Structures are given as C-alpha cells and as structure tokens.
Structure 1
Amino acid sequence: MKLEDIARLANVSKSAASLALNGKPGVSEETRATVLRIAKEHNYVPLKKIKKKYINPSSSTNYVIRFVGCKATDLIEDNYHNMPFFNELLGYFTNELKNYPFSLLISSIDSNSIREDLKRIEDEQPSDGIFLLGTNLTLQQIEEIQKIQKNLVVLDTCAPQSNLDFISINNYQGAYQAAEYLIKKGHHKVGYAESKTRIYNFSERKRGFFDALNSHGISSEDVNIYQMHGMKIETDTKNLADLQSDSSLPTAIFCENDYIAISLIRTLSTLKITVPEDISVIGFDNIPESKVITPELTTIGVNKQKIAQEAMRKMLANLERQEEDYGMHSFINTNLIERDSVI
C-alpha cells in the first residue's frame, strides 16, 4: 500500500495523509485518527522501508505483493475497496499478512487501459507478485496483466480453459444450494433476479440455480426473470412495475447477489408487496447490509477469509517454488445463512 492509497481511503489529500502519519500539525485530530486507523488496518509501511521489513522470521525474504482491482463503470467502481464484499475481502488479506513474508500494496487500474496503467505503477514500485481481483475481467485482460507480472493469483473469477491460478467462490454450488433450499421450503413457483451486466460469477450462479430446478422437474421456461443493477442498491419500480399487477407472481425470488436482493426488497416494499409474506427473497454473498435490511436477508455465505488464506498460500508457494509449476483452480464452497426473508 502506498501513501496515495491511504489518502484515497481516508478521502483526504496525499499531503494531509503525510502530515497525519508523521505527527505533524496542519490536520484535524479527526483526520489524523482516520488516517492512522486506515494505515494500521492495512499494515501500511513507507515504501523506503518495505524491503527492510521481515514479517515472517521463518522466511529469509520479504516480498512486495500488489493487490489490484480493475475499475469499470458498469460493475467495479474506483472505490471498490469501500464496497462491502471487496472491503471485507481486503480486510482478510491484511489480517493474513502477519502469517506471511509479504508487504501489501493496493492499486486501482482502469479496465480499459490495463497494460498501460499496470506498467506505470509497476515501474514506480515493482512487485514480486499480484493478487488480481478479476471479478469483471475477461481472460484476455487477465493475460495482459500476466505479461507484466507472471506471479499472478486471480481472485473471484475463473477461466476453466486457462492454466493460471484462480481462487474463486463455488458459485455453482452456492446457487444450487439456494434453489434446493427454496424447494424444500415449498416454493415451486420461483423467480430469478439477475444483474444486467454479465460476468463469470453470475453465469455460474444462474447455471447452478436452474440445474437444481431442473433436477426437481421445474422448467426454466416457467421461471420469471427480472433484470437489475448488479452493484448498486436502488429502488427500481420502473423495471419491476409488472410485479404489482402480475397475477402469477412467484412465491420466491433468488437474486444473483445481495445488492440485487436488497434493491428488490426495497422495491417490493414501495410496490406494497410484503417480504416474505407475499414473496420470499434470497441473496448471495452475505454482505454486512444483509443483516440490517428489514426483513434480514436470507443469503448464501461466502468464506472470504478462506479465499484470502488460499491465495496467500498459493502466492508464497509460487514465489518460493514450493510446488510444481502448474496452475491451480480452487473453489471455496458456500453455506446457507437463514434469516427472515424466506418462509
């Protein structure tokens, strides 16, 4: 992590962050406390000290690892590190640092200029490896990054045809689990709320959900599909107005993630449709907001700590050649979290 990363997270200028970190006057105590807290949470070390820092005494080398997120206006925004799912994931990565000889840099690059942006920041501060948040990226874009840094572990997506290292949620299993749960609760007339923007994770969730329905004799043609924004919580009465007048409403709707599920619950409330009495709703990801929405959201839980642990282990194995030189696709299984939005 660099000084500008601290400044961006604290929403202050780089100079203000520097004053706060160095105990100098010129910033408020509130700003100083915020900057120091963020620096502590992300194990910030000044760049000039990074190569001298040994986090793990069992290793003779300290590695500089970069965590890269690629922003895109339709899905992953510039402030992805403040979004619930990704913020939690980053938190687990920083917590795991104590167990590894790593110093972590956090960088955002534009998905439309991946090679140029990454080359620039790698020239400024070279890394020994990259954790790439690949949620919204194609394999071609991921391979552009590998051309610059071959020690690459890709997170939150997968390309089955690739020999690269991928650490991903078991999206298929999680959505299959959600469908099985709804059917067990007696819901055979179900709906599916999907993101307008399509990525690997959502496609796998859709495949798993419909495979589970088909295994119980429910045809995909009988499932109402609703399209919503995939990474923004909003009330969308325009696209969902038909729910208010539809005489054949589903008794339950599966949502591809919790953003969609929370937006759906808010929209249904505006349309005077009650959750779960009129329609049950289930999400995916278990973001913190799922526990504060009314009713609390039943969802598919994702073990973000396990993703961080597996990624750290694989990165160290690659750097110290502890394993044969071949790619690995790891899928972290999910668990069902029952709350109040499904009856």
Structure 2
Amino acid sequence: MSGRLQPDAAPAATELTELTELTEPTEPTEPKGTPEPALSIAGVAERAGVSVATVSRVLNGHANVRAATRERVMAAVESCGYRVNELARNLRTAESRLLLTMVPDFGNPFYAEIVRGIDSVARQHGYFMLLCDTGADPGRERSYFDLLRRRRADGAICLDPATVQQALADESVSLPWVACCEFDARVGVPYVGIDNYRAAGDAVRHLLARGHTKIALINSDEHYLYAQQRERGYLDALADAGLTPRDAWRVNLNCLDYEAGARAAAALAQLDDPPTAIFAVSDTLAIGVLNGLRSVGRRVPADIAVVGFDDITLAAQVDPPLTTIAQPMRELGETAARLLLKRLAEPQASVPGVLLPHRLVVRQSA
C-alpha cells in the first residue's frame, strides 16, 4: 500500500450493514442491582477513541487501519464481550476469515514460534488460523486444499516438503497459498524462508575456524529441499577449504527426532577414524547428538564439537549450550501471513518470494 492512510471517514453503506453484525456478550453476567445496558457499537468506538466506521473496518478485517488503532479497537471489543456474527458475514461476503497453516510435524518445536507469528498477524487482520497436521502426506495435504476449493477457508500457508508442494503445484497454483521455510521458487508460489545453503556454509566455516578438519554431517530426509541445500552448503564449504569428507561421516536420517540424532552420533564417535566435529541440520538432532556422545563417553566440545540449526528455545538450555544457526522463526511466520493476506487482497498482483537473514549463535558446544 502506498501513500498515507486517510483519516476516519463516515461509514460506507456496506460498513453500516456490517455494524449490525455485533451480537450481545457471549456469556451473561450475574445481575447486580439495576442491569447495565449493553454497550452499543458507538460505545465500543468511544471506549477505543475511534470512529464507528473504524470499529467496522477492524471487525471486518480491512487493511487500511493502523496496527495500534486495530489493537485498541480489539481490546475495547473484548472488554465489552462482543463478538462478530461470523455466519451472517460469511454468507454475505463468501469469506470464511479462516487461514490454514499446514505443518508436517507437530512434535518439532521449531514450528511453534512460526505458528505464533502466523496467528498474531492473522488476528490483527480479523482472521482465525486453523493448524493442520499433514504428516508431510500429499493425500492429507490435498484434503486441506479442498477446503480452499470449496471456500471453507480463504487461504493457506504450507510448511510441508517441497516435493509435496511440487505435487500440488499444477493443480493448486491458482489457489491462494504461500510456502514458508520449505519452498521451491520454481513452483511459482509466493514463499518466505532463509538461504539454507549459505547458512550451512557459515556453520561449517565456524568449525573450520576452530581448527576442525574432520567434520561430519547428520542430515534429515533428503526429500526436503532444505536438507539438500544444507548438505550442499556443507560440502562446498569443505571443498573451499581443500577438504573431502569421508562417506562414513555423512549420515542421512528420515526424521528429526532426538533419539535418531543420539544413535547417529554414538555410531560416528565409535568409528575407527571418528570426526572431531558434527554439524546437524536441526537443533532437535543436535540435542540428540549431545546425549549420544555423552552415552559413549565423549565430551563436548573437548572430544567432538557440535553445531545445530534453528536456535529453538531448548538450544540455550542444554549442557553444554548449543552453538547453532538461528532462524528468525516468528518473523518467518509473520511474513508468511502478510504475503498470504496480500495475495488475498490483490489476487492479480505479483507477490515476490522473501529471504530473511540468519545468524550464527556461538555457545559452548563448538
């Protein structure tokens, strides 16, 4: 949007209609003497210090309201106990005000802050978010996309593997969805993520700068595009240093579980020629690595250094605290939601992909 926002004006005819969609408080209060009259829409506006038209715009998710104003209005509405009559509005506008967030693994804490970011922006714009567990299964993904086709949801944010996205692209590229974290720019769908190749290279170069030349990689499912990109970053950083890793130092897993990381690390540590450092492509794997090394009597970082990826909350709490690549998780979610809302507001507009910055967080594990 360009230019300055216009000051609050008189409500349009459609806005006046929308004002009738406020209902009484959802839970009646106990009477205390003479009952207080229900607060009118004008009272909500007065409490928030805005016009009646502004209250209408906020409740109907219009974009041309300042964030601070939107927050004041929603606080006033909530304090009054009012809610929007969603059914009446949806029948009139053919909007559900519902956004889907498709996550391949609820058990991975990496997704939690991303989901919070999506939900925060969705709520600011009058949308609800439905969290969908796809299990990275194209069939389950299609069932959620059917909600878009039937107008049961307005848009979707997909965190599933790029292979799943590619399978859906031909039939779903015209639907309003964006890719978050895991994306393939060739699919032609708006996306937000980080430069996984460069981030992995930064992790390996940190280990090289610490004097390590025997650096192992514990990777996840190679069906994920990020896993392919991080492996290339690892290999190219070593090649630039004139090093070629042993095949035995490259482990591919089909999951991101703590236990899988622990088993892989224990096996690496007991090789005849073990690595002196391990780069794991997620913090969940890396935290498992710490436990696996401890189980076979290896000290971190004295015997084997460890670097993870993501900077989940637990990374700073383990022993030793984990050196890792930090992703801006909440910002990833917020940006994905804004891209989707832009696509909904301007269906014909070209919505570009966005790469957000990462950073190396140095702690005691490497």
TM over 0.5: same fold?
A: yes
Q: Which residue of 2 aligns with 1:289?
A: 314
- What's the offset of the Cα at 1:52? 9.2
Q: What is the CA-CA distance between 1:220 and the residue it aligns to?
A: 4.0
Displacement of 1:313 in angstroms is 2.6
Consecutive unaligned residues in structure 2, runs of 5 or more: 1-25, 29-56, 66-92
Question: Cα–Cα, structure 1 residues 99 and 183, in superposed 2: closer, same or farther, change >3 Å?
Answer: same
Q: Distance in 2 between matches of 1:305 and 1:176?
A: 23
Give the residue type in structure 1 aligned to 2:60.
Y
CA distance in 2, matches of 1:151, 1:122: 8
Counterpart-to-counterpart distance in 2, 1:137 and 1:22: 47
Could you give the per-residue CA deviations for residues 79-109 of structure 1, whole angstroms, max 9, x where no partner exists? Answer: x1x5311111111222233543433233334
Distance 1:93 1:145, change over 3 A: farther
Corresponding residue to 2:110 among 70, 82, 85: 85
Alpha-carbon distance in 2 for matches of 1:55, 1:139: 28
Of 320, 333, 336, which aligns to 2:357?
333
- 1:218-248 alpha-carbon deviations (Å, 9 max, x no partner): 1245772134453211166765554444342
Kept in 2, the 8 Å contact 1:234–1:263? The answer is yes
Distance in 2, matches of 1:291 and 1:142, equals 37
**CA contact under 8 A between 2:268 and 2:275: conserved in structure 1?**
no
* Residue ranges of structure 1 left out of the alignment (5+ in a row): 1-20, 24-50, 71-75
| 1:124-151 residue CA offsets vs partner (Å, 9 max, x unmatched) | 872222112224643333326726x711
TM-score between the two structures when normalised by the length of structure 2: 0.68
Question: Which structure has more strand as a fraction of its residues?
Answer: 1
Aligned ranges for residues 1-343 of structure 1 at < 5 Å? Answer: 53-55=59-61, 58=64, 64-69=97-102, 76-77=104-105, 80=106, 83-97=108-122, 99-109=124-134, 111-114=137-140, 117-118=143-144, 121-122=147-148, 126-135=152-161, 137-143=163-169, 146=172, 150-196=175-221, 198-221=223-246, 224-228=249-253, 230-234=255-259, 239-321=264-346, 325-326=349-350, 328-342=352-366
Q: How far does the alpha carbon of each residue in 1:19-43 deviate from its partner, in whole angstroms, 9 at most, with x for none?
A: xx969xxxxxxxxxxxxxxxxxxxx
C-alpha deviation, 1:326, in angstroms: 3.1
Q: Report how many aligned residue pairs link the two structures.
A: 285
| Structure whose CA Rg is larger | 2
SS of equivalent residue, structure 2 residue 185:
coil
Seq. identity, % = 21
Give me the whole-angstrom Cα distance separating, in 2, the residues matched to 1:319 and 1:153.
11
